[in-house]
């Protein structure tokens, strides 16, 4: 195996990816059992992208996320219990049951929200980066967006402004090759979305989004550049959406697809094998990790189910900071 060149805690990378994989798998099952209302978009297959990027961040740094946000939230260190409670619509959830899957947020953890509006997080991340530039506190913001989202105006306006003002912002374009039911090739004139960064004279890099260390290193570099005042970076992470657009999507459109099925380079499997081969962890330890995460998830589900549903009157709470 390749010698690791990073200073990162490799077991932590694996742990975080494993947590996301198992959290999402569990959510898929719960959703199929009608335990979770609304709709959910799962992140399975792209764990290395969120974990690689967020591992290059400090707690005080910011991220903005997408409709497929559970992985980003977990990678930024959010508590699976409170996330599960939110998915169940309970008072103990991150948004007290007001937000659900698509709006999980924890400002204290620098997580400025999953977002139901495609590309909407990109200028918001720019604003967080602007605040830290004005305050001079050295924080950076990572804005995740999908391949599909790169055709929406707010992304280009945000990128333009970040480039013009050297904002400490990193755009992680998760190219999972689909936007809803349409393949990336049918939505974009360019094959590599990173080319869009050229137009703004922003450094861009293509990264194998299935390789958590490669993702970490690219992010680390971009974060350094941002902290040094050298402005934004676009990272295009090539990855794959294992599941449908949403849970329950029959995925008929994937059948005749000429895209490679990237499941052969599963980010969690390959990395666990790599760490076991390198003796960073043993097989037993890896198994134990899985078991302890399952236990944590059992507890999260139990916590969610035991938590009260909001009283109807709570619908009117939290709209304004001040009563008038």
Ligand X SMILES: Cc1ncc(C[n+]2csc(CCOP(=O)(O)OP(=O)(O)O)c2C)c(N)n1
C-beta of 194: minimal distance to ligand X in Å? 15
DSSP 134-149: HHT----EEEEEETGG
How far is the C-alpha of 84 from the C-alpha of 36, rounded, in Å?
A: 9
Name the residue with the smallest CB distance to ligand X. Answer: 146
Rounded to 10°, the helix 267-277/283-306 angle is 140
C-beta of 296: minimal distance to other proteins in Å? 23
C-beta of 49: minimal distance to other proteins in Å? 19
Positions in 271-290 near ligand X (CB under 6 A): none
Nearest residue (CB) to other proteins, 164 versus 315: 315
From the list ligand X, other proteins, none, pick the one residue 238 interacts with, judged by a Cβ distance below 5 to 8 Å according to partner type.
Answer: none
Q: Which of 178, 216, 240, 271 binds ligand X (CB under 6 A)?
A: 178
Nearest residue (CB) to other proteins, 182 versus 264: 182
DSSP 103-135: G--BGGGTB----SSTTTHHHHHHHHHHHHHHH
Where helices occur in the chain by DSSP H, the ranges are 10-32, 47-54, 70-75, 80-87, 121-135, 153-165, 195-198, 212-227, 267-277, 283-306
Of the listed pieces 82-90, 160-168, 171-179, 203-211, which binds ligand X according to CB under 6 A?
171-179
C-beta of 139: minimal distance to ligand X in Å? 25
How far is the C-alpha of 98 from the C-alpha of 104, rounded, in Å?
A: 9
Q: Buried b vs exposed e over 170-179: b needs ≥16 C-beta within 10 Å? A: bbbbbbbbbb
How far is the C-alpha of 27 from the C-alpha of 70, rounded, in Å?
A: 10
C-beta of 5: minimal distance to ligand X in Å? 29
Q: Which two tokens stand for residue 67?
A: 């409709």
Q: Which of 70, 81, 82, 241 binds ligand X (CB under 6 A)?
A: 241
C-beta of 245: minimal distance to other proteins in Å? 9
How far is the C-alpha of 113 from the C-alpha of 105, rounded, in Å?
A: 4
121 is a site residue for ligand X (CB under 6 A): no
CB atoms within 10 A of CB 201: 9
Nearest residue (CB) to ligand X, 16 versus 68: 68
Residues that bind other proteins (CB under 8 A): 37-39, 89-90, 95, 97-100, 102-103, 115-119, 148-149, 151-154, 179-182, 186-188, 253, 309-316, 319
Q: Are 10 and 272 a contacting pair, CB within 8 Å?
A: no
146 is a site residue for ligand X (CB under 6 A): yes
188 is a site residue for ligand X (CB under 6 A): no
Where helices occur in 55-102 by DSSP H, the ranges are 70-75, 80-87
Q: Which of 118, 128, 129, 161 binds ligand X (CB under 6 A)?
A: 118
Nearest residue (CB) to ligand X, 181 versus 276: 181
C-beta of 209: minimal distance to ligand X in Å? 12
How far is the C-alpha of 82 from the C-alpha of 102, rounded, in Å?
A: 14
Nearest residue (CB) to other proteins, 11 versus 151: 151
Nearest residue (CB) to other proteins, 182 versus 292: 182
180 is a site residue for ligand X (CB under 6 A): yes
317 is a site residue for ligand X (CB under 6 A): no
Which residues contact ligand X by CB under 6 A?
Answer: 66-68, 116-118, 146-149, 152, 176, 178-180, 241, 245
């Amino acid at each position: 195996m390749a010698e690791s060149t990073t200073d990162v805690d490799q077991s932590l990378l694996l742990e975080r990816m494993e947590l996301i994989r198992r959290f999402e798998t569990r959510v898929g099952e719960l959703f199929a059992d009608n335990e979770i209302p609304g709709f959910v978009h799962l992140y399975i297959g792209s764990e290395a992208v969120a974990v690689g990027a967020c591992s290059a961040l400090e707690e005080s740094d910011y991220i903005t996320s997408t409709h497929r946000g559970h992985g980003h939230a977990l990678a930024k260190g959010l508590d699976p219990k409170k996330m599960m409670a939110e998915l169940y619509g309970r008072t103990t959830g991150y948004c007290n049951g007001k937000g659900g899957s698509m709006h999980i947020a924890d400002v204290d953890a620098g997580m400025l929200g999953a977002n139901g509006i495609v590309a909407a997080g990109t200028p918001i991340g720019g604003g967080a980066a602007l605040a830290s530039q004005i305050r001079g506190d050295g924080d950076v913001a990572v804005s995740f967006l999908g391949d599909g989202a790169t055709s929406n105006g707010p992304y280009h306006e945000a990128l333009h402004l970040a480039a013009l003002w050297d904002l400490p912002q990193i755009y992680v374009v998760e190219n999972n090759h689909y936007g809803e039911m349409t393949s990336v090739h049918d939505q974009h004139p360019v094959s590599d979305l990173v080319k869009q960064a050229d137009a703004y004279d922003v450094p861009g890099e293509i990264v194998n989004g299935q390789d958590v260390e490669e993702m970490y290193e690219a992010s680390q570099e971009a974060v350094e550049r941002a902290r040094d005042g050298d402005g934004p970076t676009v990272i295009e992470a090539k990855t794959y959406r294992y599941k449908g657009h949403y849970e329950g999507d029959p995925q008929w459109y994937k059948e005749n697809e000429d895209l490679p099925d990237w499941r052969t380079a599963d980010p969690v499997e390959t990395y666990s094998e790599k760490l076991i081969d390198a003796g960073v962890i043993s097989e037993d330890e890896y198994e134990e990790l899985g078991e302890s995460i399952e236990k944590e998830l059992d507890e999260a589900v139990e916590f969610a189910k035991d938590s009260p549903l909001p009283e109807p009157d709570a619908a009117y709470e939290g709209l304004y900071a001040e009563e008038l």
